[in-house]
Amino acid sequence: MSEVVSAEMPSNIALIKYMGKVKGGDRNRPTNSSLSMTLMNLLSRVEITKTEGTYDNWETLQEGRWLPTKLSDRGRKRFLAHFEFLKQKMGVEGHFLVKSANNFPSDCGIASSASSFAALTQATYELAKTQNEKLDLSLAKLADLSRVGSGSSIRSFMHPFVLWNEQGVSTVDIPFQNLVHKVIIVSREKKAIGSSDAHERVPTSLLFEGRPERAEKRLEELLSAFKMQDWGLAFQIIWSEFYDMHALFSTSRPAFHYMSDASVKVLNCVHRYWEENKDGPLVTMDAGENVHFIYRQDQKKIANEIQLELNAEFQIIGDEGRDS
């Protein structure tokens, strides 16, 4: 049996969003800077095995804690096209079976493309080194190669907070340490409009004019709020940012939506908690229905109170990557 080469890489959640791509030139160049938190326990795994066939193939990984992944024909072609791109860049010869899966639901607003393309890039690099021991790529180079397949995956190669701008990716020091991430699972259904399609549609919104400038301004304000350890101000900025992004979706031509009635119910719950207690989690949404909470270490009581209110209707995935 051929040796299996594997890699596991984390997802990430953007606090200042990457939504909208620069036209022409290199793939997946953003129209604005973004800031994300790496989710070290929400992982994708990729395994690569050499085959005697004449083409590469993909299968879902079915093993233990990994949730079987369903890729559409388009998604499968995209994944394998990136694998072929990486093989050419890294000088890999031969044909292979690629298996992948996540330990969290995919295609529903938890950035599974970021972690899966990052894992594919890292696994291909490990494969390439078995054929060329002298190959030595920097972390920044690997991240940039991964970005060609999925823009947001560039941020999954560093942690805990990552800035992606015109200069590339770099970590950012945030005074708050060991923050706790939770996802409120509103829906496990695969979203009808993928993130790549969303990037293509948002420039048709009249609200897209000025969007890069708004995002850059919020990035500056958020970094300042973190530096001042003003949690309440950070909450307001991040809240405004994800609503700005979702407004682009609902005003695109044609319009589309990710935010559902259930999403709004969760958002209303946490917003009410903030109004009543003057404290709470940071809140954001990606391109999906599910809602992300980020807590400080000293907010365990707050997290328990909010979870108690939501548990009856929603599942909550914690940092450990399983229902909590």
One pLDDT digit (tens) per residue for the chain, 324 residues? 478 999 999 999 999 998 878 876 677 888 899 999 999 999 999 999 999 989 999 999 998 889 888 888 999 999 999 999 999 999 999 999 999 999 988 776 677 899 999 999 999 999 999 999 999 999 999 999 999 999 999 999 999 999 999 889 999 999 999 999 999 999 888 888 888 889 889 999 999 999 999 999 999 999 999 999 999 999 999 999 999 999 999 999 999 999 999 999 999 999 999 999 999 999 999 999 999 999 999 999 999 999 999 999 999 998 643 343
Please give the DSSP secondary-structure letter assigned to residue 260: -
Q: Is residue 221 classed exposed, middle or buried when 0-12, 13-18 and 19+ CB atoms within 10 A define those classes? A: middle
Using a CB cutoff of 8 Å and minimum separation of 24, what contacts does 51-58 make? Answer: 51/2, 51/95, 51/96, 51/97, 52/95, 53/95, 54/95, 55/95, 56/80, 56/83, 56/84, 56/95, 56/96, 56/97, 56/98, 57/96, 57/97, 57/98, 58/97, 58/98, 58/99, 58/100
Domains in the chain (CATH in brackets) are 4-171 (3.30.230.10), 180-317 (3.30.70.890)
> Quick one: DSSP state of residue 69?
P
Specify whether the CB–CB gap between 44 and 122 falls below 8 A. Answer: no
The pTM of the full predicted model, rounded to 2 decimals, is 0.93
User: Are 76 and 58 a contacting pair, CB within 8 Å?
Assistant: yes
- Residue 303: closest CA among 321, 272, 277, 280: 280
